[in-house]
């Protein structure tokens, strides 16, 4: 029974962490830990915390770069102070 539960939990974790979007629709949002991957899987957009920084940023980085080199950061001088930040598309 324990093995079955572990397999189920491992499958659930694997499935939820490999799901990714390539678009955000009106009213949809992403929060820390969720990302949007470009259709060509070159770029990834999300909220991240660089290095030892306590601030969080909305940014775009190169998906398959081992260092996750950042290509763009929103409000570089004004980080999100906690994990409550999210990105939402609204009109």
CA nearest to 36, candidates 45, 26, 27: 45
CATH number assigned to the domain comprising residue 29: 2.90.10.10
Where in the sequence is the domain holding 58, given as residue range(s)?
21-88
Task: Give the model confidence (pLDDT) of 58-81 as tens digits.
Answer: 999 999 887 778 999 998 899 998
Domain count, the chain: 1
The answer as to whether 68 is a domain residue is: yes
The answer as to whether 61 is a domain residue is: yes
Cβ atoms of 42 and 61 closer than 8 Å: no
Task: Give the model confidence (pLDDT) of 18-40 as tens digits.
Answer: 345 788 888 899 998 899 999 99
Length of the chain: 91
The answer as to whether 4 is a domain residue is: no
The answer as to whether 10 is a domain residue is: no
The answer as to whether 27 is a domain residue is: yes
Contacts of 23 (CB under 8 A, 6+ apart): 36
pTM over 0.85: no
The answer as to whether 11 is a domain residue is: no
The answer as to whether 69 is a domain residue is: yes
């Amino acid at each position: 029974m324990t093995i079955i539960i572990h397999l189920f939990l491992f499958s659930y974790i694997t499935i939820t962490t490999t799901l990714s979007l390539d678009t955000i629709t009106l009213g949809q949002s992403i929060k820390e830990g969720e990302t949007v991957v470009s259709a060509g899987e070159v770029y990834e957009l999300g909220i991240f915390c660089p290095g030892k920084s306590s601030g969080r940023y909305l940014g775009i980085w190169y998906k398959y770069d081992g260092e996750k080199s950042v290509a763009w950061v929103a409000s570089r001088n004004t980080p999100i102070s906690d994990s409550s930040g999210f990105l939402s598309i609204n009109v």
